[in-house]
Structure 1
Amino acid sequence: MTDLTPISATTVTHDPQASYQALQDRWGLVAPVELEPGIHAWLVMGHHELCQVVRNEQLFSRDPNNWRLYTEQVVAPDSGLGPMMFPRDNAYFADGDKHRRLRGPLDDGLASLDEHRMSRFIRSTCTDLIRKFEDQGKADLVSDYAAVVPMLTVAGLFGIGMEQGEQLRQGLIALFSSAENSQEPALVIERILTGVMHARRAAPTDDLTTAFLRHPGLRDDFEIQQSMVLMISAGYETTTTWIAQTLRLMLADRRFGGRLRGGRLGLDDALDEVLWRDPPMSNMPARYALVDCELAGMPIQRGDALILGLAAANADPRVHTDDPWLEIGNRSHLAWSAGPHACPAQRAGRMITRIAVDTALHRLHDVTLALPADEVMLLPSPWTRCPASLPVRFTPSGQAHPG
């Protein structure tokens, strides 16, 4: 196939739904797209069709060893797609019994969290970060806030100190960019985590690194390290994007911001509206067809890659309307995917995002964007739509009127 739309056309635009609609008008609910020059995949955009894919491990595998373009070495070994689409020994890239074994430590670790202690840590972190700039009357709510809260929280759960946090953050940005230079920073993440593992093996503490080291479901250090990569990268990127997109909508969309500030839209309902409109992962890689089959009338061949168009599926009129009042309480969105690989950290992610947005709402007075809404730039990625920055102005805390 020639003249295919790059998948990044759906993420770098200010109107992603228009890009998805253009693909649907041309191809239907499953469309061929280009991941990088010469590397094609199918983008699944229908809600029903996407659920078919993610709930059927017998037809669609998560293991990249079933990706024909990978096994035939059509994809270059140094491809920017590597960090997100090449095999790793963690639950994200496994099926069946292996997936359940590798998923167990993640589920057990999340279940063991002291949510009250975690809540206090997040609120204290948010408050401390805002105190650093609340007297200045201006800030960047991504680099100064939305990107820092999840980093400190998720890294802290694994016993990783602040001094390595910025290295982790830069590596994670590179990992999700899938750009040509994304592999080396991704290796930095692994080196940091290996060092933490060695430290915890010598001196165990009450953190998730120690819990992973002791978990019988993880058989060797590589599986432990890769499970840490998965949990930290997914927790950081998705939560940063969720916080940033909620703050962006609050500031750029008068209807959304007015309903939220005026109390007509509860905070949890506002967070759900963001999950519908701009989910943390717009396009999620990948599933690989195990047999020749048909999906929404398109001929899928064995070994083809299928990308989950989560943001497109959320706009499917079969499950979602444009009436915000009818949609309150509707949580049939696919922001966290579905099936065996549905995100295990939805509860923790909501806690971090809710506290971060709530703290910003209450501590920043008369906050407005410092540039036109359509000039807010996005971090380059075929998978996510995280604002690169959110420069804002507000009344400095010493001048704000109480109440």
Structure 2
Amino acid sequence: MTDQLSNGSSAPRGCPVAHGGADDLTRLYGPDAALDPHSIYGRLRKEHGALAPVLLEGDIPAWLVLGYRENRRVLDNARQFSRDSRIWRDWKEGRVEATSPLIQMLGWRPDCVSQDGEPHRRLRGAVTDNLQSIAGRGIRRHVTHFANKQIDAFADEGSADLVGDYAEYLPMLVLTRLFGLPAAEGHNLAVSCAQVIKGGEGALAHNDRIMEILGELAERKRAEPGSDFTTGLLGHEAGLDDDEILSHLRLVLITAHTTTSNLLARVLQLILTDTSRLAGLVSGQLNITTVVEEVMWNTPPLAVLPGRFATADLELAGHHIKEGDLLVLGLTAGNLDPEIRPDTGVSIQGNQSHLAFSGGAHECPGQNIGQAIIETAVDVLVHRLPGLRLAVPADDLTSTASTWEARLDSLPVEFVAQTAAV
């Protein structure tokens, strides 16, 4: 870890420590951030309020939005806070290299996430139309099929790790079916998607591997169309070109898999560390949607959302933001903002105003699909494995965070050993 800003980078102009050097700014990456991001968010809130200057990988400066209302303002106002990274000052002035891991999350691509206004509406329409189309084509049936196959692999052992053996790969297996990919690609794609989100030196190579697989998929579907998401994009009336097709395949694959797998693991963690919730699900007295909603408030699958770029000089939460500054959205911090949740023990049942799905024009268009995958995966699991229980004390469960997310490391369980489903 370097002690000074790399590539001549400087802290965000206008921040309270703009002239203090990198040692005065908090890094959202590295060993300290990986262990306890919640403490970092709390300390930053105490020191800076609802908006804090931070450093991303490569010691690139950004503003972390911590307040719930401030997150909403940024998400809902594309005129002041654009998703188009071509106006990012540190990129324009050469402080962010093309090989930086940040580019995988923040770099401009010809997709709907990277654009605003009419270009965004055109491209997003193609995505939402096709997501709605595949949502009606037996997603729960696909999830049930792959969930049972995953469980069959460990059912007779009486124990498993529900992260590595279940949640980490199940959403990708479903996505391979929806995309028209061979299921055999699922494992490698899941690993590569996780590495792109995690960042680090391998992010670029893993992204290249994803693009290679998706490029081959698009060529195959041009020759052999099917009733899948890929074919739908290829034939959509919006007339997406080759680069737009590949960029949207990548976008949906990475975001859908990484967020759904993370959320599934967190939902399983919650029900296994609270036996009353597990009993309620098995008996049918508790609706799984209620559990998912609670997790989306307290541990959203993306802790920090990339990113928005100030279109002009402006004020936010008492800080002076300069045109071209990067802002990253603290979804977890915003959901736990004491200004709106002074007592996190109060029930939020039925309250869907959390930030987990982002917001504004760029709100996640595939949330219903993710919810269907999670609800079905949990239902199959709890009914397949009688006696399901956590195999370690709840306090022994650990997570590892990157800049963008905090993933559960493992979820060891025990149960009554079962024969494979027929």
Same fold (TM over 0.5): yes
Matched, 1:47 2:85: no
Question: Which amino acid in the other structure matches residue 252 of structure 2?
Answer: M
Aligned mates of 2:33, 2:304 — CA distance in 1: 8
Equivalent residue of 1:366, what SS?
coil
Aligned mates of 1:263, 1:200 — CA distance in 2: 42
Q: What is the Cα deviation at residue 25 of structure 1?
A: 0.3
Matched, 1:281 2:281: no
Q: Which runs of 5+ in 2 are unaligned?
A: 1-17
8 A contact 1:159–1:208 mirrored in 2: yes
> Partner residue of 1:241?
262
Aligned mates of 2:277, 2:81 — CA distance in 1: 38
Shifted more, 70-79 versus 315-324: the winner is 315-324
Q: What is the Cα deviation at residue 115 of structure 1?
A: 2.9
Aligned mates of 1:186, 1:165 — CA distance in 2: 15
Equivalent residue of 1:50, what SS?
helix
Aligned mates of 1:169, 1:6 — CA distance in 2: 27
Q: What is the Cα deviation at residue 47 of structure 1?
A: 1.1
> Partner residue of 1:306?
327
> Partner residue of 1:228?
249
Classify 1:241/1:336 alpha carbon distance in 2 versus 1 (closer, same or farther; 3 Å): same
Alpha-carbon RMSD across the aligned residues, in angstroms, is 2.1
Q: Determine which of 122, 129, 138 is the counterpart of 2:159.
A: 138
What are the residue-to-residue correspondences of 1:307-386 with 2, within 5 Å?
307-320=328-341, 322=343, 326-386=347-407
Q: Identity, % of aligned pairs?
A: 37
Classify 1:49/1:126 alpha carbon distance in 2 versus 1 (closer, same or farther; 3 Å): same
8 A contact 1:147–1:240 mirrored in 2: yes
Q: What is the Cα deviation at residue 380 of structure 1?
A: 4.6
Aligned mates of 2:288, 2:53 — CA distance in 1: 37
Matched, 1:269 2:290: yes
> Partner residue of 1:159?
180
Q: Which runs of 5+ in 1 are unaligned?
A: 399-403
Equivalent residue of 1:135, what SS?
helix
Q: What is the Cα deviation at residue 273 of structure 1?
A: 0.3
> Partner residue of 2:214?
193
Shifted more, 273-282 versus 212-221: the winner is 212-221
Shifted more, 368-377 versus 125-134: the winner is 368-377
Aligned mates of 2:395, 2:34 — CA distance in 1: 12
8 A contact 2:82–2:308 mirrored in 1: yes
> Partner residue of 1:112?
133
> Partner residue of 2:240?
219
> What is the number of residues matched between the two proteins?
397
Classify 1:269/1:180 alpha carbon distance in 2 versus 1 (closer, same or farther; 3 Å): same
8 A contact 1:65–1:71 mirrored in 2: yes
**1:199-233 deviations in whole A, cap 9, x for unaligned?**
11111111111111111324311110001001111
Matched, 1:12 2:12: no
**1:175-212 deviations in whole A, cap 9, x for unaligned?**
10111221011110000000011111111111111111
Question: Which amino acid in the other structure matches residue 287 of structure 1?
Answer: R
Classify 1:124/1:325 alpha carbon distance in 2 versus 1 (closer, same or farther; 3 Å): farther
Q: What is the Cα deviation at residue 132 of structure 1?
A: 2.0
Aligned mates of 1:334, 1:396 — CA distance in 2: 39
What are the residue-to-residue correspondences of 1:30-109 with 2, within 5 Å?
30-109=51-130
**1:104-147 deviations in whole A, cap 9, x for unaligned?**
11110011125362211111221222122111011121221112
Q: What is the Cα deviation at residue 149 of structure 1?
A: 1.6
Q: Determine which of 248, 263, 272 is the counterpart of 1:251.
A: 272
